[in-house]
Amino acid sequence: MEFVLIIIGINILYVSFFTLRMLMVIKGYRVMASLLAMVEVFVYLKGLGLVLDNLDNPINLAAYCIGWGMGVFIGSKIEEKLALGYVTVQVVVDSLEMDLPGKLRESGYGVTSWVAEGRDGPRLMMQVLAKRSNEKKLWKLITSLSPKAFIVAFEPKHLKGGFWVNRLRG
């Protein structure tokens, strides 16, 4: 039983590193991803060696598979907590008189707003950039000020210039 737990633990560690490394590569953190890859491959080779040396026991293979699945889950939760990068939140409200952009600016967010045409008439559109670690706070603020707002969030890969970048890096 102890051997099975070792296999699960090693695989959780390996796949968590693997998941974090992949997300870091996607987000452009190449140096950190490279350093993580060195640790990842060491853990991988140790774990794979243990399983390959003991293939006669199907429980060891099951432990490897369980550890793999748990590693994906744990790695994604770790990345969620780290909240690397930025998020762009696009907000659409149906009231042009609403001072939502001003209230978001008062809360420290950079907001670009404009009038757009929707199916039922003019809409106020806003684009807000925030650190991913502040995304939930931003969503709560928007929904508290405008419960009917249509909100879409996406992650920009590259940022250059403007109020947003200077403020976020400062």
Nearest CA to 112 out of 161, 63, 76, 42 is that of: 161
pLDDT at 170 over 50: no
pLDDT at 160 over 60: yes
Predicted confidence at residue 149, as pLDDT, reads: 93
Q: How far is 6 from 60, CA to CA, in rounded Å?
A: 10
CA 79 to chain centre: 6
Average pLDDT over the chain, rounded to an integer: 86
Q: Which two tokens stand for residue 111?
A: 């907001």
Question: What's the first-to-final CA gap in the chain, in angstroms?
Answer: 52
Residue-wise pLDDT for 69-118, tens only, equals: 999 999 889 888 888 778 899 999 988 777 899 999 999 888 999 999 98
Predicted confidence at residue 96, as pLDDT, reads: 78
Domains of the chain: 1-82 (no CATH), 86-167 (3.30.70.120)
Residue type at 11 in one-letter notation:
N
Long-range contacts, stretch 160-169, CB < 8 angstroms, 24+ apart: 162/110, 163/110, 164/110, 164/129, 167/110, 168/86, 168/129, 168/131
Nearest CA to 120 out of 98, 95, 100, 144 is that of: 95
Give the list of residues 6+ apart from residue 25 with CB closer than 8 angstroms, or none.
33
**CA of 35: how far to CAs of 24, 30, 32, 43, 79, in Å?**
11, 9, 5, 13, 16
Across the range 152-166, mean pLDDT stands at: 72
Which helix (H) or strand (E) covers residue 96, if one does? none
Predicted confidence at residue 56, as pLDDT, reads: 79
Higher-confidence position of 164 and 45: 45
162 pLDDT band (50/70/90 cuts)?
low
